[in-house]
Amino acid sequence: MKKKIAIVILVLAFALSSLPIMADNLGELRQQYEDAQTAVQETVEVLESTRAMMNQIHQTIMELDERMMNATDDLLSIDQALYTTQEALAQTEEYWAQAQLDLELQHDAVRARLREIQESGSTGLLSVVLQATSLRDFLLRLELVNNIARHDQEMVERLETTEARVAQMQETYARHLSSVEMLLSQQEAYIERLEGLEAEQLAFFEELAADEEKYEALLAFEREQAQIMYTAWSTAYQAERARRTAAQLEQQRIANEQRIAAMQNLGGRFRWPVPSSGRITSGFGYRNHPTRRRREFHTGIDIGARHGADIIAAEGGVVILSSWHGGYGNTVIIDHGGGVHTLYGHNSRNLVSVGDTVTAGQRIALIGSTGVSTGPHLHFEVRVNGQAVNPGPFLGL
C-alpha cells in the first residue's frame, strides 16, 4: 500500500507539472478534469477498503479481548482448583502422618501382643481359662480370652484398612494434582497464544491507520487538484460559451438587419391592414397630438375607416398580445420573427388570442375607437427589436 501511494503521488506530480492550465482545447481540459475525478474516486475506494479492514481487525481484537477475559477467568478457576487440591493433599499428608503414628502404635501393640503370646506360648491363654474356680468364672475367663483374640484380629484388620485407605487417598490427590497442573499449563499457553495473536492484529491495525492517514492526505491533494482543473475547464467553457453567444447574437442582428432591409427594399412586403380604407389620417413622426394639444412623436400611422371594418394581419406570425393595452385600447401585437412586430390599436373587438398563429391577410380585429382616440381608426405600428420604425417602407408607401 505504501508503495502504491508513492507511485500515485509521483505520477500525479508529473501530470500536474505538464498540465497546460490555459489550454485552448476545451476537450483536453475536460479530459484532464475527468482523469482527476477518476483518481479521486480510486483513492476514495482504497481509503474505504482500508477503513473496512480496520473495522474488521478492530472487531477481531475485541473478540480476542473477550476470549482472553474468559480464558483468564478459567485460569483463575484452575488456580483455585489447584489451591484446593494442594490444600486437600496437604490435609491428606497430615492425615497420613497421624495415620502413620497410629499405625506405629498399632504395630507396637501388635508386636507387644505377639511377644506376649510367643513368650507365654499356646498355654498362656489356656491356663487363664483353666484357672477358673467355678463354671461361671470359667465362662467369664473364656469370653475374656475370646475378646482378646478378637481384639487382636480387629487391630490387624484396622492396620491393613488404614494402610490401604491412606495409599488410595494419596494416589487420588496426586493424580488430581497432576491433572490440574496440566490444565494450568495448557491454559497459560492458550492465553499466551491469544496475546500473540492480539499483538499481531494491533500491529496490522497500526499499519493500516498509518496508511489511512496517508490516503486521506492524498485524497485532499487530489480533490484540490480536481477543483483547480474544474475551475480551469469551467472558466474556459464559460468564456467559449459567451464568445459563441455573442457571435450568434451578432449573426442574428446582422440577419435581422438584412431581413428588414430586404423587406424595405422590396417596396412593401406587408399587406395593407385595412382593406376597406386607404385613408391615412396621421403619419409617422412628430405631430400635434389631437387630445393633448401638444407636439409629440407619433410612433405609427392612423388609418381612418368605418366602425367595425375588418383589420387584417399585414404578415404571418404568432399573436403575442390580444387585450386592452393602455392608451391603445383593445390591441393586437403579432411577432413576425427576426425582431419584427406589428401593432394594431384602438380596435372595437379583437378576433384572435395569444398564441394563435395567423397568416398574412387573416382577419384579426375590427375598427374601433377604444383607448385614447377621437374617432374610429386603426393605429398601425411596425417595431424592430422593440423600437418603432416608419411603417411606410414595409407597406410600399
Q: Quick one: the chain helix, strand, coil %, rounded to 5?
A: 65, 15, 20
DSSP at 300? S
CATH number of 279-395: 2.70.70.10
The pLDDT value recorded for residue 116 is 62
pLDDT category of residue 330 using cuts at 50, 70 and 90: very high
Residue spans per domain, the chain: 2-237, 279-395
pLDDT for residue 363: 97
Q: Does residue 57 carry a pLDDT above 70?
A: yes
Q: Which of 364, 269, 357, 354 is nearest to 312 (CA)?
A: 364
User: How far is Cα 145 from Cα 92, in angstroms, rounded to an integer?
Assistant: 37
Residue 354 C-alpha from the chain's centroid: 51
| Dihedral (CA of 264, 265, 270, 273) sign | positive
Higher pLDDT residue, 139 or 361? Answer: 361
Inform me whether the pLDDT recorded for 271 exceeds 50: yes
Residue 241 has pLDDT above 90, yes or no: no
DSSP 180-248: HHHHHHHHHHHHHHHHHHHHHHHHHHHHHHHHHHHHHHHHHHHHHHHHHHHHHHHHHHHHHHHHHHHHH
**Over the range 37-57, which residues count as b (16 or more CB within 10 Å of their CB) and which as e?**
eebbeebeebbeebbeebeeb
| Confidence class for position 190, pLDDT limits 50, 70, 90 | confident
pLDDT, greater one: 152 or 212: 212
- What pLDDT does 138 receive? 65
Q: What is the pLDDT of residues 9-21, one digit of tens each?
A: 444 443 444 444 4
Q: Is the pLDDT of residue 308 over 90?
A: yes
The CATH H-level superfamily of 2-237 is: Methyl-accepting chemotaxis protein (1.10.287.950)
Of the given ranges (20-24, 126-130, 161-165, 336-340), which has the lowest mean pLDDT?
A: 20-24
**Across 44-59, average pLDDT:** 85
For residue 214, pLDDT beyond 80 = yes
The yes-or-no verdict on residue 6 having pLDDT over 70 is no
Of 72-86, 320-334, 376-390, give the lowest mean pLDDT range.
72-86
Question: What's the pTM?
Answer: 0.38
pLDDT at 257: 65
Q: How many CB atoms lie within 10 A of CB 149?
A: 12
Residues 377, 369 contacting (CB under 8 angstroms): yes
Give the per-residue pLDDT at 240. 84
- Top mean-pLDDT range of 168-182, 259-273, 293-307: 293-307
Give the pLDDT mean for 297-310.
Answer: 94
Please tell me the predicted confidence (pLDDT) of residue 16. 41
Residue-wise pLDDT for 370-389, tens only, equals 998 989 999 999 999 888 99
Q: Contact, 124 vs 118, CB < 8 A? A: no
